[in-house]
Structure 1
Amino acid sequence: MKIYADENMPLVADFFGHLGPVTLFNGRRVSAADLADADVLLVRSVTQVNQALLAENKGLQFVGTATIGMDHIDQAYLAARNISFSSAPGCNAQSVVEYVLSAIWHLAEKYQWHLSSKILGIVGVGHIGQRLAEAAAALNIKVLLCDPPRAAVEPDFNHTDFTELCRQADIISFHTPMVATGPAPSWHLINAASLALLKPGCALINASRGAVFDNQALLQTLKTQPRPVVLDVWEQEPDILHELLPYLDIATAHIAGHSIEGKARGTAMLYQRLCQQLNQAPQRQLSGLLPVPAVEKVQISDNFGLPDVQNLARMLYDVRRDDALFRFHIQREGFDWLRKSYPPRREFSSVQLMGSKIPHWMAQLGFTSQ
């Protein structure tokens, strides 16, 4: 069985190697000829899997994307060819939540916010949005949820219309998939009209899909009406709108979900699905392949409280590091180099908290205890 995988998928040879030879490829540059003899194709969001990419392949059995999003996969075409498909829903949800929390803490420090008096709007309440809502509740931040598809099928879902959310929220974080048409499109949710609805100081955070924000409209508005903005995703990646950079508080290269755990979890989920399809018992487990963290345990005292969480979290991840890397390297090295060269980052769960009175709400943030 010949397995072809994106070179940025961690541990892919460790997981899949016993099933067959693993060949790595550049996700943006891979061609139909490169994949002509593939039996298994493993990709990330930068690769468009469609008829053109698979035109020279006759024997493909399985396609997996180590991502939550699936807008880069032509699922109808795969189904027509009877090619099995799997994504990795929720694999990097915790990583994205930690990115957003770090961004919010940075903005709160920069603009001297009291977060308990702020309203956080969450647009898209799936794996990531739901976890973010739970984390915000642990931090005593009021939350408004906007998810029309969930509201349509869940009578008890506490949905706020997007227009109303724009008027009320002090911070809006986007976690919606890319949906171009239909009753609830997410394409250009942030545009000239929605920007005009926002409170003057409302902060915007996009760690979902680049085209959820009209980048040109955002640029033109920020020139005359500055506001806190955090962008991890951009329209037309990797050819991003560089003119936006001076107007952003935090700018990063689509790495919100790039924790070691988040990326490796995606690989593990696809491995388990392929083993299931092959009727083989998995021989590899994620827990046995993850590297030992630099900090394994942290002792906290009985005095540990909500004001101390930010310092503990920053020990593991500070989004300002990634913003600095982006601003220093983006012109010379480029967007894809930043993603490929992303330094290791561990999730909160990599550290075991030790102590006699660990606050119960730490688990809502993603920490683990003894």
Structure 2
Amino acid sequence: MRKKNLVLFSARGRASLPDALACRLEAVAAVAYRTTPGLLSDADLVEQCAQAEVVGLTRRACKDFHAALVDRLPRLRGLAAYATGDEWLDRPALARRQVDVRLLPDYSAQSVAEHALAMLLGLSRRLHLSDRVVRGELPETISLRGWELAGKKLGIVGLGRIGRRIAQLAAAFGMDIHYCDPAVPAADGWRAMALGELLACCPVVMLAASVERGAAPLIGSEQLRAMPAGGYLINPSRPQLVDHDAVRAAIASGHLAGYAVDERVFCAAQLAGLEAGRILQTGHTAWYSNEAMARGAEAWVQHLIELAQT
């Protein structure tokens, strides 16, 4: 039986997979590994998988798998994305071409939830500032006074796999859990609220929602104004959920006390003039742990095998 042509994009080619997983994949498909440490142009992507019937793709290689790309890959029948969200995939175009799409909805949920709590603790205990003061990078006059999580109301927007884990971890710190998710009318004794009500009553808001392709930001100027003065917004999810110009303005005015995001969305010039430490940025690393990488590789290869055998 002829093996399907499969192209797999990853940062280190075949070395990105444990040898046992690579051997399993090669047993059922004719695999071409593409080493892609950075973003590919549309032309390069099309050229490298023009003959592919199955493609294994990461967001490192492609940020927008749009309709024009789909149309330029007539042999494509299966796409396994090493990603949880699908807003970067043109689902209607893929469905029109009857391309079977597989995602990894759960591989990094625990890691992202733990990272989200680390971001919150970083802001609440001013850890990022304390380290820089000790190093002599900031003056010792900067206040390092923190605040406790226990007893604080936490509003979680989105109670899916990640949001639920965040709630469990935060509850262990003694936080009072509220959430907004129309798909979850009741959960574990936590209080369900509409978004406006949640923003108005919770001084700490955590975003764990998915992003719809082309949707406007969920949190903008109006939503930030609805939050209590001195509130904190934590975004371990997608940066597109938030209007960052509005966040900067809310920080500058003093209405928002802190913002954390798992992406570099502000450059040094944009941070100039703001009080040090009010914005905490991490480098899209919430998912990046030994355990998540192992789970992700296993699930990704399993999806590729299934697509190759279909």
Q: Calculate the TM-score normalised by the size of structure 2.
A: 0.77
Of 151, 154, 158, 1:117 maps to 151
For 1:52, the equivalent position in structure 2 comes to 68
User: Which of 256-265 and 206-215 deviates more?
Assistant: 256-265
Secondary structure of 2:233's partner?
strand
Residues 63 and 86, structure 1, Cα contact 8 Å, conserved in 2: yes
Of 10, 14, 17, 1:12 maps to 17
Structure 1 or 2: more strand by fraction: 2
For 1:338, the equivalent position in structure 2 comes to none
User: Which of 70-79 and 15-24 deviates more?
Assistant: 15-24
- For residues 22 and 263 of structure 2, what CA distance do their matches in structure 1 show? 30
For 1:196, the equivalent position in structure 2 comes to 225
Equivalences, count = 270
- For residues 205 and 8 of structure 2, what CA distance do their matches in structure 1 show? 38
Residues 154 and 178, structure 2, Cα contact 8 Å, conserved in 1: yes
Structure 2 residue 260 is matched with structure 1 residue 255: no
Superposed CA offset, 1:255-291 (max 9, x none): 21122322342232121123234459xxxxxxxxxxx
- For residues 256 and 42 of structure 1, what CA distance do their matches in structure 2 show? 22
- 1:26–1:54 Cα change, 3 Å: farther
Superposed CA offset, 1:6-42 (max 9, x none): 3279833743452423223355224222321223222
Of 14, 34, 37, 2:48 maps to 34
For 1:169, the equivalent position in structure 2 comes to 202
Superposed CA offset, 1:90-126 (max 9, x none): 1111111111111222223234212112111111111
- 1:44–1:279 Cα change, 3 Å: closer
One-letter amino acid matched to 1:230: A
- For residues 125 and 249 of structure 2, what CA distance do their matches in structure 1 show? 26
1:52 Cα deviation from its structure 2 partner: 2.0
- For residues 218 and 73 of structure 1, what CA distance do their matches in structure 2 show? 27
Aligned 1:71-86 pairs, distance under 5 A: 71-86=87-102
For 2:244, the equivalent position in structure 1 comes to 215
User: Which of 87-96 and 157-166 deviates more?
Assistant: 157-166
Structure 2 residue 242 is matched with structure 1 residue 233: no
Gaps of 5+ in 2: 127-144
1:139 Cα deviation from its structure 2 partner: 2.0
- For residues 39 and 241 of structure 1, what CA distance do their matches in structure 2 show? 40
One-letter amino acid matched to 1:132: I
Secondary structure of 1:179's partner?
coil
- For residues 244 and 123 of structure 2, what CA distance do their matches in structure 1 show? 21
Superposed CA offset, 1:37-95 (max 9, x none): 22322223453123322343232231111111100111222222222110000111111
- For residues 190 and 307 of structure 2, what CA distance do their matches in structure 1 show? 35
- 1:52–1:124 Cα change, 3 Å: same
Gaps of 5+ in 1: 281-370
One-letter amino acid matched to 1:25: T
- For residues 81 and 27 of structure 1, what CA distance do their matches in structure 2 show? 27
- 1:217–1:92 Cα change, 3 Å: same
Superposed CA offset, 1:171-213 (max 9, x none): 11101111268xxx6x322211111111122111111111211
Q: Percent identity?
A: 24
User: Which of 25-34 and 122-131 deviates more?
Assistant: 25-34
Q: Aligned-residue CA RMSD in angstroms?
A: 2.7
Residues 202 and 227, structure 1, Cα contact 8 Å, conserved in 2: yes
- For residues 264 and 4 of structure 1, what CA distance do their matches in structure 2 show? 17
